[in-house]
């Protein structure tokens, strides 16, 4: 048997876009096959077709040589296809074992039986060296461990074709290394693996072959060993990509944002999630807050922009204390904010793009007079931003935000926030889940803002991004500022140690 | 012919709102068909003429039935607008009936006692009713905004407070011992009929229809053309994004519930500032408040849609009235309306059905507009 999966002439259309256009994909037994492409290139759609989440409009799928129709994920499971989604599908207050057997429970007289299941889970985790405690609750274990649970879930269901959708998105460098080893081991034990990603480094690290998609079309399948990263990137984007963002040394001027001993309280856990954090951001400087997800970065930003009240400390913008200001007042004092969760905070998904582009300016005299909208100005504003920030949509200013791709949603938000020409630009994970092309665009915009003399506060979980963009780094661990670094001097490994709490300033 | 049909479908596919509208029409058609089936089972020989009577309820007796259709439709339009307006801010005002009761009592109280107002009497009574409804609606608004009490719970409970208070206050302040009901408002407090009784001879129509039209237009403008409406809708669609954008979410919740309450209050005032209709000290919730929920759903929470749905309801009511000419119980109307409501609650499902049909016929994908359903 030469291929375990053969997908031929797969075509799938969505409103205004052909997500997959005559795509070919073949998976060999025991290989790690990367699926590379920009956001919106159709990688997830293709795998969703394979996993039974979408039905293709055209094309056929063969699994182990026989033609199949996969109508839903249960069909896929029966065929031995398993998928780890980017956002894990776990029940948080269930134990590891309960999550793994969910839907496949052993029962006797209608009562659950866990002992045999736990035994099986333990033998699987020994075989594949996936360490987890079957009795631990999901909410108590780390993201890396949760991912292992997802992998065990597939193995428990006897899947031997494993799909990983962007598996490294929320892992630390150390956890990523661990995952790469796990993938190798799985392949050696006879599993065939599809790795959906846009990170070239990971592909170079583990993949045997790589299929590249661009704008829904299949660009080709290559052997990873005989292809360079540059070639892969060029195939993915359709042109040469500059990895090193060109960036002149920073020339920091006067302070714009000053954070002094800021604390933010979380009423649910009755503890401070941000503890006594202090730092300054100057004009012409990009300050980057690095750290593993959930170490208080989000709350820190919420405390600065006013989405959460500070329980202690001061925030000053251009010399004016804004600690007691409302969100609107802070925004008008010169804070632009590209929020972490673009769909929750950044956009009203049921509004059109043009309505979203005025989300925090709608009250300005430019857009309204005596409480009535000046629709021509709103439209002009939208058309200009769409053009300047290359936002691609199906119906222009009248597209629903919900129908736009993540990259274009983010470009729209970034455009909206930059265009307000505030002195301080706060961007929280601005490139999360985006493709190389969009990332490049957003990085360039952020540097351009710095060079225009803006102060930029960036929060990022991606070390690559931290290293390329920042002029100064603050590492957060468990809500504290555990160290400040100059990116020119510090190594990624060193940062990793601070991020995981192994080292901290003063104690070093 | 099929060509024309396809072009029409394509045109519909381009506008998400028309898909929603189509699903409402589908809900109405389904409701009517179910009604027809029941009528066929109950009384096959009279079923078809009876059905036609329902369908054209407003036209059974010329201008009289047309006028009565509008008369019956007005309070439902207003409670429908009340519920719809709150929907748009993401709030479910199930307390329309309580606000309506408070509005009705206040309006009647002013109507009975404040005769000194002369020609302004009915205006003040109406405004008084709206104010009382607004106050009653603002209570769950404040509780929601500042204490995070769910508005459904708060407003349901206030329905009963309003009901019992109404009984108590009528008996204490405006009781007509002889007939065991509230006193009649003075003639100067009655909603004027102006020239309408000359056009719709023999019907009960009054200027309430103009008030309903005016309020529909005002709400349409607020929601679609103003900064205030933009804020309300932002809060309704995505509270977190509204907060991020610096909108005063608490103020918007209170204002939305207040306006919603005022609309129900207006419905109460208009219902009882007429000759021959009296508030009664009985412990019973007034149904019009609940019908408003259905009408808001059917009208897709858009003021103009709600107006049309409300008048259509009046049409069915009239049809039910004339249905008694045949051998049918007027309750058949309630069944039809219930089925329509049921189907309009399934509007999202129907939208998907319509979208799927259009895709099969024209090969065109359809974007669905979401957010009109209850969250």
**pLDDT tens per residue, range A143-200:** 788 888 999 999 998 899 999 988 887 677 778 888 899 999 999 989 999 999 877 8
How far, in Å, CA of A403 to CA of A412, rounded?
13
Instruction: Look at A350 and B225 and tell me if their CB atoms are within 8 Å.
Output: no
Instruction: Look at A360 and B245 and tell me if their CB atoms are within 8 Å.
Output: yes
Number of A:B CB contacts under 8 A?
Answer: 77
Which pLDDT belongs to residue B319?
85
How far, in Å, CA of B166 to CA of B314, rounded?
26
B359 band by pLDDT with thresholds 50, 70 and 90: low
The shortest CB-CB distance from B237 to any of A330, A350, A368 is to A350
B302 band by pLDDT with thresholds 50, 70 and 90: very high
The shortest CB-CB distance from B241 to any of A14, A330, A348 is to A348
Query: Does residue A325 register a pLDDT over 90?
Result: yes
Query: Is B247 near chain A, with CB under 8 Å?
Result: yes
Biggest alpha carbon distance in chain A? 74
Query: Does residue A288 register a pLDDT over 70?
Result: yes
DSSP state of A39: T
Which pLDDT belongs to residue B272?
95
Residue of B nearest to A355 (CA): B230
Query: Does residue A228 register a pLDDT over 60?
Result: yes
Q: Cβ contacts of residue A262 below 8 Å, gap of 6+?
A: A274, A276, A277, A278, A300, A303, A304, A310, A312, A313, A314, A315
Q: Which residue has the higher pLDDT, B309 or B6?
A: B309
Query: Does residue A505 register a pLDDT over 80?
Result: no
Closest CA to B151 of B294, B298, B257: B257
| Whether the predicted interface score ipTM is above 0.90 | no
Residue of B nearest to A403 (CA): B367
Residue of B nearest to A305 (CA): B244
Query: Is B16 near chain A, with CB under 8 Å?
Result: yes
Distances (CA, A) of A159 to A152, A210, A211, B214: 10, 22, 22, 64
Which pLDDT belongs to residue B24?
80
CB contacts, 8 Å: A58 with chain B: none
Query: Is A372 near chain B, with CB under 8 Å?
Result: yes
For residues A16-33, give the mean pLDDT.
88
Query: Does residue B352 register a pLDDT over 80?
Result: no
Q: In Å, how far is A361's CA from the nearest CA of chain B? A: 8
A243 band by pLDDT with thresholds 50, 70 and 90: low
Query: Is B366 near chain A, with CB under 8 Å?
Result: yes
Dihedral sign computed on CA atoms, order A64, A69, A72, A74: negative
Instruction: Choose from A124-133, A493-502, B143-152 the range with maximum mean pLDDT.
Output: B143-152
pLDDT, tens digit, 9 for 90 and up, residues B193-213: 989 888 988 888 999 999 999
Query: Does residue B367 register a pLDDT over 80?
Result: no
A404 band by pLDDT with thresholds 50, 70 and 90: confident
Residue of B nearest to A339 (CA): B244
Average pLDDT, chain B: 87
Which pLDDT belongs to residue B369?
46
So where are chain B's domains? 1-43+333-375, 64-327
CB contacts, 8 Å: B371 with chain A: 350
pLDDT, tens digit, 9 for 90 and up, residues B233-271: 999 999 999 999 999 989 999 999 999 999 999 999 999
Least confident of B131-140, B185-194, B357-366: B357-366
Q: Which residue has the higher pLDDT, B2 or A116?
A: A116
CB contacts, 8 Å: A373 with chain B: 225-227, 230
DSSP SS3 for A236: helix
Which pLDDT belongs to residue A266?
81
Residue of A nearest to B235 (CA): A348
Average pLDDT, chain A: 88
Q: How many residues does chain A have?
A: 508
Instruction: Look at B367 and A15 and tell me if their CB atoms are within 8 Å.
Output: yes
CB contacts, 8 Å: A14 with chain B: 365
B13 band by pLDDT with thresholds 50, 70 and 90: low
pLDDT, tens digit, 9 for 90 and up, residues B52-98: 888 888 888 889 889 999 999 999 999 999 999 999 999 999 999 99
Query: Does residue A484 register a pLDDT over 70?
Result: yes
Which pLDDT belongs to residue B366?
52
CB contacts, 8 Å: B240 with chain A: 344-345
Which pLDDT belongs to residue B374?
34
Query: Does residue B276 register a pLDDT over 90?
Result: no
Least confident of A36-45, A499-508, B97-106: A499-508
Query: Does residue B355 register a pLDDT over 80?
Result: no
Chain B 207-236, CB below 8 Å of chain A: which residues? 225-228, 230-231, 233-234
Report the topology of domain B64-327: ABC transporter involved in vitamin B12 uptake, BtuC (1.10.3470)
CB contacts, 8 Å: B234 with chain A: 348, 351, 359
A455 band by pLDDT with thresholds 50, 70 and 90: very high
Query: Is A359 near chain B, with CB under 8 Å?
Result: yes
Instruction: Look at A371 and B367 and tell me if their CB atoms are within 8 Å.
Output: no
Instruction: Look at A14 and B230 and tell me if their CB atoms are within 8 Å.
Output: no
Which pLDDT belongs to residue B292?
92
Q: What's the pTM?
A: 0.78
């Amino acid at each position: 048997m030469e291929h375990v999966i053969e997908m031929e002439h797969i075509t799938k259309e969505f409103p205004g876009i052909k997500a997959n256009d005559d795509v070919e994909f073949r998976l060999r037994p025991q290989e790690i096959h990367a699926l590379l492409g920009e956001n919106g290139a159709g990688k997830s759609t293709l795998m969703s077709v394979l996993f039974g989440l979408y039905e293709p409009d055209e094309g056929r799928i063969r699994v182990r040589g026989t033609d199949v129709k996969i109508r839903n994920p249960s069909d896929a499971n029966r065929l031995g296809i398993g998928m780890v989604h980017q956002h894990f599908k776990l029940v948080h207050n269930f134990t590891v074992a309960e999550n793994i057997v969910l839907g496949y429970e052993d029962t006797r007289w209608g009562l659950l039986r866990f002992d045999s299941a736990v035994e099986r889970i333990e033998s699987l985790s020994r075989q594949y060296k996936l360490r987890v405690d079957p009795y631990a609750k999901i909410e108590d274990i780390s993201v890396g461990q949760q991912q292992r649970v997802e992998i065990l879930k597939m193995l428990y269901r006897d899947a031997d074709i494993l799909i990983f959708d962007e598996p490294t998105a929320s892992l630390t460098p150390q956890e990523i290394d661990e995952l790469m080893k796990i993938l190798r081991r799985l392949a050696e034990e006879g599993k065939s693996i599809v790795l959906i990603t846009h990170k070239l480094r990971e592909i170079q690290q583990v993949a045997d072959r790589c299929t590249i998609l661009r704008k829904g079309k299949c660009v080709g399948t290559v052997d990873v060993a005989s292809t360079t990263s540059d070639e892969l990137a060029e195939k993915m984007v359709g042109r040469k990509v500059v990895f090193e963002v060109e960036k002149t040394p920073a020339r920091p001027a006067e302070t714009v944002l000053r954070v002094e001993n800021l604390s933010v309280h979380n009423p649910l856990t009755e503890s401070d999630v941000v503890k006594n954090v202090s730092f300054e951001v100057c004009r012409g400087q990009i300050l980057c807050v690095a750290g593993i997800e959930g170490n208080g970065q989000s709350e820190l930003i919420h405390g600065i922009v006013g989405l959460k009240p500070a329980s202690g400390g001061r925030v000053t913008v251009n010399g004016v204390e804004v600690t007691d200001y409302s969100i609107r007042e802070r925004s008008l004092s010169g804070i632009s904010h590209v929020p972490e969760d673009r769909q929750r905070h950044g956009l009203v998904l049921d509004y059109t793009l043009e309505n979203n582009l005025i989300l925090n300016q709608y009250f300005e005299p430019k857009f309204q007079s005596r409480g009535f909208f000046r629709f021509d100005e709103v439209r002009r504003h939208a058309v200009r931003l769409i053009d300047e920030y290359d936002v691609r949509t199906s119906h222009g200013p009248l597209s629903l935000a919900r129908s736009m791709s993540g990259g274009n949603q983010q470009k729209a938000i970034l455009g909206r926030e930059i265009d307000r020409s505030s002195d301080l630009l706060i961007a929280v994970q601005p490139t999360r889940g985006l493709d190389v092309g969009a990332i490049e665009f957003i990085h360039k915009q952020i540097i351009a803002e710095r060079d225009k003399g803006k102060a930029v506060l960036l929060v990022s979980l991606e070390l690559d991004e931290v290293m390329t963009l920042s002029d100064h780094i603050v590492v957060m661990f468990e809500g504290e500022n555990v160290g400040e670094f100059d990116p020119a001097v510090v190594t990624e490994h060193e940062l990793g140690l601070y991020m995981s709490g192994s080292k901290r300033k003063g104690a070093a | 012919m099929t060509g024309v049909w396809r072009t029409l479908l394509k045109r519909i596919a381009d506008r998400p709102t028309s898909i929603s509208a189509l699903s409402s029409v589908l809900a109405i058609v389904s409701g009517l068909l179910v009604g027809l089936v029941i009528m066929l089972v109950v009384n096959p020989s009279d079923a078809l003429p009876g059905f036609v009577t329902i369908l054209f309820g407003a036209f059974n007796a010329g201008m009289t039935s047309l006028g009565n259709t509008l008369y019956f439709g007005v309070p439902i339009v207003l409670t429908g607008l009340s519920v719809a307006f709150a929907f748009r801010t993401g709030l479910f005002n199930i307390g329309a009936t309580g606000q309506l009761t408070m509005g009705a009592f206040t309006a009647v109280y002013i109507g009975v006692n404040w005769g000194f107002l002369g020609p302004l009497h009915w205006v003040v009574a109406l405004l008084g009713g709206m104010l009382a409804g607004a106050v009653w609606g603002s209570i769950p608004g404040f509780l929601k905004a500042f204490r995070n009490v769910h508005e459904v719970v708060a407003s349901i409970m206030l329905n009963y407070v309003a009901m019992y208070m109404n009984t108590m206050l009528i008996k204490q302040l405006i009781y007509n011992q002889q007939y065991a009901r509230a006193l009649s408002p003075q003639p100067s407090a009655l909603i004027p009929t102006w020239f309408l009784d000359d056009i719709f001879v023999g019907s009960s129509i009054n200027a309430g229809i103009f008030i309903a039209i005016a309020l529909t237009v005002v709400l349409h403008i607020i929601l679609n053309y103003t900064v205030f409406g933009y804020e309300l809708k932002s809060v309704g669609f995505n509270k977190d994004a509204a907060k991020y954008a610096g909108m005063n979410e608490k103020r918007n919740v209170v204002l939305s519930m207040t306006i919603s309450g005022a609309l129900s209050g207006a419905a109460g005032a208009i219902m009882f500032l007429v000759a021959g209709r009296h508030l009664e000290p009985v412990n019973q919730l007034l149904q019009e408040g609940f019908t408003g929920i259905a009408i808001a759903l059917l009208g897709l929470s858009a003021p103009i849609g709600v107006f049309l749905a409300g008048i259509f309801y009046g049409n069915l009511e009239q049809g039910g009235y004339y249905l008694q000419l045949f051998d049918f119980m007027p309750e058949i109307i309630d069944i039809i309306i219930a089925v329509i409501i049921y189907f309009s609650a399934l509007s999202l499902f129907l939208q998907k059905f319509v979208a799927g049909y259009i895709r099969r016929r024209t090969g065109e994908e359809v974007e669905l507009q979401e957010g009109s359903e209850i969250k």
